[in-house]
């Protein structure tokens, strides 16, 4: 089964902003993929969490499970009732200047009328002694417990109270399985 990727929308920041929203997502694809390269201005750390919300929904119907490794420590975490999904980290103000992280968020079956899973991989590094990789895998790694099709996606630095800085870029692709 061949997959065809089509760029739906993209955004590259020319100034700092808390969120990026992709809206009016067409219902013509089977899956969605988001790729990003970002950095935040969170002042207290070398990396900062970024999160995802669907359809502007800030009710507590999200859950996520994470396995992470920093080169110094590793662990897992699970949140079952929250108003956003933490989907990884990106470099913050304490990281080496001009370093950006990357992430890929895969959302299969975004139009189904039941809960929707997602998987994420993100990596950030300080170009010094710390590198962080977050892996969100499997159907229960990220879950949006809504029967409504996803028509908008907002990515933000909610958990860290930060902004994405100028130069951060975000790309939304639609995937058609043929």
Sorted by where each starts, the structural domains of the chain and their CATH numbers stand as 3-177 (2.60.120)
Confirm whether pTM is higher than 0.75: yes
Note whether 173 and 41 are within 8 A (CB). no
pLDDT at 131: 55
Long-range contacts of residues 139-142, Cβ cutoff 8 Å, at least 24 apart? 140/63, 140/65, 141/64, 141/65, 141/66, 141/117, 142/52, 142/62, 142/63, 142/64, 142/65, 142/85, 142/87, 142/117, 142/118
**pLDDT bucket at 149, cuts 50 / 70 / 90:** very high
Q: What is the mean pLDDT of residues 64-83?
A: 70
> Is residue 139's pLDDT more than 60?
no
pLDDT in tens, 18-56: 999 999 999 999 999 999 998 888 876 666 777 888 999
Q: Extract the tokens encoding 82.
A: 């929250």
């Amino acid at each position: 089964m061949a997959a065809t990727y089509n760029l739906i929308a993209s955004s590259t920041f020319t100034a700092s902003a808390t969120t990026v929203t992709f809206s009016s997502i067409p219902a013509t694809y089977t899956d969605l993929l988001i790729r990003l390269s970002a950095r935040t201005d969170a002042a207290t750390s070398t990396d900062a969490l970024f999160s995802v919300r669907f359809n502007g929904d800030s009710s507590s119907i999200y859950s996520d499970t994470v396995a992470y490794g920093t080169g110094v420590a590793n662990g897992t975490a699970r949140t079952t009732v929250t108003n956003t999904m933490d989907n990884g980290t990106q470099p913050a103000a304490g990281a080496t200047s001009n370093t950006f992280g990357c992430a890929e968020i895969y959302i299969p079956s975004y139009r189904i009328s039941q809960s929707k899973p997602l998987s994420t991989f993100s990596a950030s590094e300080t170009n010094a002694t710390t590198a962080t990789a977050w892996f969100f895998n499997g159907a229960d790694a990220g879950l949006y417990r809504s029967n409504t099709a996803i028509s908008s996606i907002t990515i933000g630095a909610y958990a860290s109270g930060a902004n994405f800085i100028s130069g951060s870029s975000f790309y939304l692709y639609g995937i058609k399985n043929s």
